């Protein structure tokens, strides 16, 4: 991973600007009544912003090291559930209305969109 927060091998950029993320989450209009699935939370910057809304957040992280870090970081957040899983094979609930929020790697964008929209 480069110093800029880019993992070139998977075409992934990590966000660093909390104000930008908070703005994006605010624009989405997420409330405490919502269930949000965050695909690839990385270092958790979006997860923190989503947690501030009071929504139920399911953060799906494939990278074991990031998963461990996130699990420790969100231990005391009752409405944040960090899962170690592959977002492409994860079984999303079909009966309830859910919101997807993510900064997904460029190289799997089409696959992720196909998965969550089908």
* DSSP, residue by residue, 34-69: -EEEEE--TTSHHHHHHHHTT-EEEEEE--HHHHHH
* Confidence at 75, pLDDT banded by 50, 70, 90: very high
**pLDDT value for 104:** 75
* Confidence at 12, pLDDT banded by 50, 70, 90: low
Distance CA 59, CA 81 (A): 6
Q: What CA–CA distances, in Å, run from 32 to 36, 57, 88?
A: 10, 10, 26
DSSP 11: T
Taking only the tens place, the pLDDT of each residue in 78-113 is: 999 999 999 999 999 987 888 999 877 777 778 888
């Amino acid at each position: 991973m480069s110093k800029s927060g880019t993992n070139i091998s998977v075409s992934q950029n990590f966000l660093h600007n909390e104000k930008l993320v908070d703005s994006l989450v605010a624009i989405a209009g997420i409330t405490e009544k919502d269930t949000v699935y965050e695909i690839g939370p990385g270092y958790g910057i979006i997860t923190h912003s989503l947690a501030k809304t009071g929504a139920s957040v399911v953060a799906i992280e494939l990278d074991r090291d990031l998963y461990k870090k996130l699990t420790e970081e969100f231990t005391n957040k009752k409405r944040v559930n960090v899962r170690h899983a592959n977002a492409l094979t994860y079984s999303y609930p079909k009966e309830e209305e859910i919101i997807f929020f993510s900064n997904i790697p460029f190289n799997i964008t089409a696959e992720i969109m196909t998965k969550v929209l089908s």
